[in-house]
Amino acid sequence: MEKSAELLQISKKIVIKIGSSVLSDETGSVNRRTLKNITDQICHLKNAGKQVILVSSGAGICGVGAINKWDRRDDINYKQALCAIGQVELMQAYKEYLQAHGVIVAQMLLTAEDFRDCNRNLNIRNTLFTLVDEGVVPIINENDSVSVDEIKIGDNDMLAAHTAVLWNADLLILLSDIDGLYDKSPKEHGNARLIREVYDLTTLVGSIEVGEKSSFGTGGIMTKISAAKETGKHNIPTIIMNGRVEDIIVNVANERETNATTFLGFDIMSGR
């Protein structure tokens, strides 16, 4: 059986990070069809007895849709303002789609610093555990008003890794607009090869070529590798999948789809 399918089947606690590239269409508007399909998959996982925490980018894109007169302003303050507007739109969409399945959502806006501070860390943990225990789906995003790391370097990949570690998740899923990690950028090289399983990150980093990020993405593939490294230290595997492909999580779980990259946690790697 594919490692990705096996991990999805055995994991109970799953963190799913949704990249901006997944939620945006070619014109830069929010792709509601994709967003709805992902929420349907989350409910499918919940019905199968799994617990899910979401980390979602996309506030900026939702902001452009809500107040399109600012879409060409590159100034970081405008980008932060756009995210503040768009965060409401984003949560409204999640609420609408998950509520249709009887699922309540909760918003948590965090920064990487919050995870480093002992008291804040404890408060985040208590809130997350309580929400999940009550069957609520927490939706985390970077607090763009107090930190610009997500806008500038795509820190939601790392925020998702910190969340997975804090919650002691069984699996981190990074949904992007590509099938996984390639030996070189698939958008720039037609012959790029998908790497299905990664066992050794140190060797890997020297052997792949990193290309441009997507038009509406922020971190590119490197922040995903860093996130996988962080979770790997804690023996939590990470899978990159293409969130734009309909029913991707469910189909990878039952091996109807095999395109994905699985980073295996260190203990799993050594077979312990």
Question: 90 or 103, CB closer to ligand ADP?
Answer: 90
Chain residues 172-231 in contact with ligand ADP, contact rule CB under 6 A = 176-178, 181-182, 184-187, 208-211, 213-214, 217-221
In the complex, least distance from residue 184 CB atom to ligand ADP, rounded to whole angstroms: 5
In the complex, least distance from residue 8 CB atom to ligand ADP, rounded to whole angstroms: 19
262 phi, psi to nearest 5 deg: -110, 120
Confirm or reject binding of residue 20 to ligand ADP (CB under 6 A).
yes
6 phi, psi to nearest 5 deg: -60, -45
Edge-to-edge, what's the strand order for the sheet holding 137-142?
A: 105-110, 137-142, 51-56, 13-18, 171-176, 238-242, 261-263, 197-198
Confirm or reject binding of residue 28 to ligand ADP (CB under 6 A).
no
Q: Where do we find the tokens 């849709």? A: 65
In the complex, least distance from residue 164 CB atom to ligand ADP, rounded to whole angstroms: 16
Confirm or reject binding of residue 65 to ligand ADP (CB under 6 A).
no
- Let me know if 196 is exposed, middle or buried by CB neighbors in 10 A (0-12, 13-18, 19+): middle
Q: Which amino acid is at 169?
A: A
DSSP secondary structure letters along 200-211: -HHHHHHH----
In the complex, least distance from residue 19 CB atom to ligand ADP, rounded to whole angstroms: 2
Confirm or reject binding of residue 259 to ligand ADP (CB under 6 A).
no
Q: Which residues bind ligand ADP (CB under 6 A)?
A: 19-22, 57, 154, 176-178, 181-182, 184-187, 208-211, 213-214, 217-221
